[in-house]
Amino acid sequence: GSGSYAAVLDSLEQALTENDRVTLVGFGTFSVRERAARQMRAIAGENAGQMIEVAARKYVAFKAGSSLEQKVRDARGKSYSLGKPTSDRTYDNARLLQRYLVSFLKAYSRESSNGTKPISLWLKYG
């Protein structure tokens, strides 16, 4: 049920806040990466056209596993929205992560219950 989804999301969130890498076998790997401070040209606003300093920051990265990549390549005619961009033009990571995991866990439950293609699901920290 939704309690198991929440437990997975809580575990994932905890691991990522501690800079751990989390692998959902058959789905993909979430990790925390750092982007160094850098200069770039502003394209809008009062500083448009000028070089501005962009602060260093951490962000959550996702690398799809081969099983997920194959399913995406084989999918036909389905479309999913990832949500609206926030003011800084990044997606709401928590909502995006929740959608990925809920879709995966639903597929995991469905495929395991009918016995056609069981998926090994476990969390790997480190």
DSSP string across 58-119: EEEEEEE-HHHHHHHHH--S---------TTS---HHHHHHHHHHHHHHHHHHHHHTTSS--
DSSP state of 125: E
For 65-101, what is each residue's pLDDT tens digit? 888 888 878 776 555 555 554 444 444 555 666 677 7
Higher pLDDT, 20 or 84: 20
Domain borders along the chain are 2-32+59-125
- With a pLDDT cut of 70, the percent of the chain lying above it is 61
Q: How does residue 39 score in pLDDT terms, banded at 50, 70 and 90?
A: very high
User: What would the two tokens of residue 97 be?
Assistant: 């992560």
- What CATH architecture applies to the domain 2-32+59-125? Irregular (4.10)
For 96-120, what is each residue's pLDDT tens digit? 666 777 776 666 555 544 444 444 4
Higher pLDDT, 56 or 44: 56
Mean pLDDT of the chain: 74
